[in-house]
């Protein structure tokens, strides 16, 4: 999704803490926001997985994301 990318707002409440973001305006924004959050979480898990294994047991990030996407489509 390279066009019209939606970025979560970094807002703060009057007390200086993070505020609750507004709910998504539609299904496209809903998908974009969840894709961002899920991709960040998965990237962290991938880095942990890669650090715990030998170099020969880990595929490059591009191959990993392609394989994950294929599996996600299959199971969703």
Whether 33 contacts 40, CB under 8 Å: no
Residue 36: how many CA atoms within 13 Å on its side-chain side?
Answer: 12
Determine the pLDDT at residue 12: 40
d(CA 34, CA 37) in angstroms, rounded, equals 5
d(CA 15, CA 53) in angstroms, rounded, equals 44
pLDDT, averaged in runs of 10, over the chain (76 residues): 46 52 90 95 94 88 93 95
Determine the pLDDT at residue 22: 83
| Domain range list for the chain | 27-75
Torsion sign (Cα): 63, 69, 73, 76:
positive
């Amino acid at each position: 999704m390279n066009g019209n990318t939606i970025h979560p707002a970094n807002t703060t409440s009057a007390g200086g803490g993070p505020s609750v973001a507004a709910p998504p305006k539609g299904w496209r924004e809903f998908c974009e926001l969840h894709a961002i959050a899920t991709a960040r979480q998965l990237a962290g898990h991938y880095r942990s997985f890669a650090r715990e294994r030998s170099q020969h047991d880990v595929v490059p990030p591009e191959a990993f994301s392609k394989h994950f996407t294929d599996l996600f489509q299959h199971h969703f």
